[in-house]
Amino acid sequence: MAETFDNQTFGVGNSTTGVLLGVPLTNTTTFTGTNAVSGLTGVTIDGAVDQPGSSVQVALNVGGVAQASVAGTYRGFSQSSPTAEPIYYFDTTVAGVGTPVTVAVSAGPVPLLSAAAPIDTSNVTAPDSPLIVCFVTGTRIRTERGEVAVEDLQIGDLAVTASGAHKPIRWIGHRLVEAADHAAPQDVWPVRITAGALAMGVPVRDLLVSPDHCLVFDDVLVPAKHLINGATIRQEPVEAVGYWHIELDSHEALLAEGAPAESYRDCGMHAFFEGAEGWGHRVGDKAPVALLAPHALSGPRLHGVKAILIARAKHLGARRVEDPGLQVVADGQVLTPASIDNRRFTFAVPEGTQTLVLRSRSSVPAHWIAENEDRRRLGVRVSELCADGTAVAMADAQLAQGWNAVEPNGQERWTEGEAHLPVCRALSFQADWFLGYPVETVSEPMPVNAAVSFAAPVLRLVANG
């Protein structure tokens, strides 16, 4: 299931209702309706949604009449851009109203329901909140009373920022994300920044944050996912993870395990977290919170940060190996090549084989080449594939699981590290690979001085220009 609503209340500006005018929602139409019964009051949703038809319980106010708990059916969502908060639509049957009442809720602003509000119900999976910028349970935040685990912080605690200022915590939100059930679990797996990965003594202990949580470098914000190098900074596959938001009056650089990491910046996502109580009165009348610094999502500023962190990873023991570890595996059995000639491999496949897989080491170029922004996971590059003497086109439908898209020349295709092959008795292909694959582990970094200052200036790691 892609989104869970745990008795979450969406207040003014984040919910609305409308009545369909006899035009049912289909997978090709836009919403057509009226706002005659729209209520500018909160709507509460309880239940998990995935495909259209998922059932939830809805509490709402229709025409001034409170409906404590009515059955609702998830109909689909609309999203103005890939990074915008999705708007979720539910149909409900309300006493005294002859036609279904449609409810729209979102962590972001919700426009009034109208024919101009598109809705896609073509077997879509409900999208999760697009940006989760949080600390993982257990992360220690520097406060006036010392380092405190994020789950033990209290509203009113004075957080020590990277500039040395003491600023009160205004809101704390938390959420359990079931990564195992997520449509794209890598989008929510936490990123581990190992002790000393950013600089000597920074962080002082391993720091775990969500992929989109930004670290502060000089005068830019860089999401943790753009810093991954597979060694000192790497993503951690998990089944579930607890995420926490810490909000101050302004967007600040908190000291999380001694590293400057952004505080929560109010962008309308409170409703997706427990602890949403107490902020609803601010929705709609609170001025947008200014960014602490601009984002560096691509280009020279990002490349400069990456170059320094990759160099540091090498200093701490990160290494690469030239051997791609190429194997062909038939039903779990590693096959010995019949021949290898200038990187052309041939294999005799046992009779009765059910599954044939091309396995190798893999890496993400953007993780270990500072100026590279290719975030595909690449194994080996295959061409001239033949099965039982017949050429297999790189765009062949049999090459689906474990393969990247066909290269622009139409003749080559990268695997992702474990690519399924057509089952055959005689297999041959040409393969090329990187000059070196990063070994995605690293030895323990050198000891750091536990007494390192927590009020140090924001890290200055970006080269001039």
Q: What is the DSSP string of 406-426?
A: EPTTSS-EEE-SEEEE---SE
Between CA 260 and CA 452 the distance in angstroms is 13
List of E strands, 166-286: 166-168, 171-177, 191-193, 207-209, 214-217, 220-223, 233-235, 241-247, 253-256, 259-262
Question: Which residues, at least 6 apart from 165, have a Cβ–Cβ distance to it below 8 Å?
Answer: 252
Helix, strand, or coil (residue 30):
strand
Look up residue 121 and give its two tokens: 């119900």
Cα gap 173→279, rounded to integer Å: 10
> 401: buried, middle or exposed (CB in 10 Å: 19+, 13-18, 0-12)?
exposed
Question: What pLDDT tens digit does each residue of the chain (465 aa) get?
Answer: 346 665 677 766 666 666 544 444 443 334 333 333 444 456 788 776 766 777 888 887 665 566 667 888 887 777 666 556 677 888 887 776 666 777 878 766 676 665 555 555 554 555 555 456 689 999 999 999 999 999 999 999 999 999 999 999 999 988 888 888 776 788 889 999 999 999 999 999 999 999 999 999 988 999 999 999 989 999 999 998 999 999 999 999 999 999 999 999 865 454 444 554 444 333 333 555 788 999 998 899 999 999 999 999 999 988 888 889 999 999 999 999 999 999 999 999 999 999 999 999 999 999 999 999 898 999 999 999 999 999 999 999 999 899 999 999 999 999 999 999 999 999 999 999 887 777 755 433 333 333 333 233 334 333 322
* Whole-number Å distance between alpha carbons of 309 and 305: 6
Is there a cis peptide before residue 203, judged by omega within 30 degrees of 0?
yes
3-class secondary structure, 180: helix
What is the pLDDT at residue 44? Answer: 80
Q: Which pLDDT score, from 0 to 100, does residue 184 have?
A: 73
Q: What is the DSSP letter of 107?
A: S
CA distances from 169 to 158, 270, 350 (A): 6, 15, 64
Cα(118)–Cα(29) distance, integer angstroms: 7
CA–CA separation, 253 vs 230, rounded Å?
Answer: 25
Would you state the torsion angle of the CA atoms of residues 55, 57, 63, 64, taken in this order, to the nearest 10 degrees? 180
Cα separation of 327 and 386, whole Å?
16
Residue 164 in tokens: 């040395």
Neighbours of 343 (CB within 10 A): 13
- The one-letter amino acid at 251: H
**Cα 316 to the chain's mean position, in Å?**
27
The whole-number pLDDT of residue 267 equals 53
Q: Which two tokens stand for residue 113?
A: 């329901």
For residue 184 the two structure tokens come to 């794209």
Cα 14 to Cα 22, 177, 283: the distances in Å are: 25, 22, 8
Could you tell me which residues come within 8 angstroms of residue 52 by beta carbon, excluding any fewer than 6 positions away?
73, 74, 75, 76, 121, 123, 124
Angle at 62 (CA atoms; ends 61, 68), nearest 5 degrees: 40
One-letter amino acid of 463? A
| DSSP string for residues in 298-345 | SHHHHHHHHHHHHHHHHHTT--EES----EEEETTEEPPPSEEETTEE
| 3-state SS, residue 153 | coil
Question: What tokens were used for 196?
Answer: 């000393």
Residue ranges of domains in the chain, CATH in brackets: 3-105 (no CATH), 135-315 (2.170.16.10), 321-438 (no CATH)
Residue written as tokens 């990123």? 191
- The residues near 381 (Cβ < 8 Å, ≥ 6 apart) are 407, 412, 413, 414, 415, 431, 432, 433
Q: Which of 244, 271, 237 is nearest to 3 (CA)?
A: 271
pLDDT for 260 equals: 97
Q: What is the DSSP letter of 184?
A: S
Q: How far apart are the first and last CA of the chain?
A: 45
Q: Is 274 exposed, middle or buried (0-12, 13-18, 19+ CB in 10 A)?
A: middle
Question: Whose CA is closest to 141, among 155, 154, 169, 160?
Answer: 160
How many CA atoms, within 13 angstroms, populate the side-chain half-sphere of residue 239?
0
Q: Is the dihedral of CA 328, 333, 334, 335 positive or negative?
A: negative
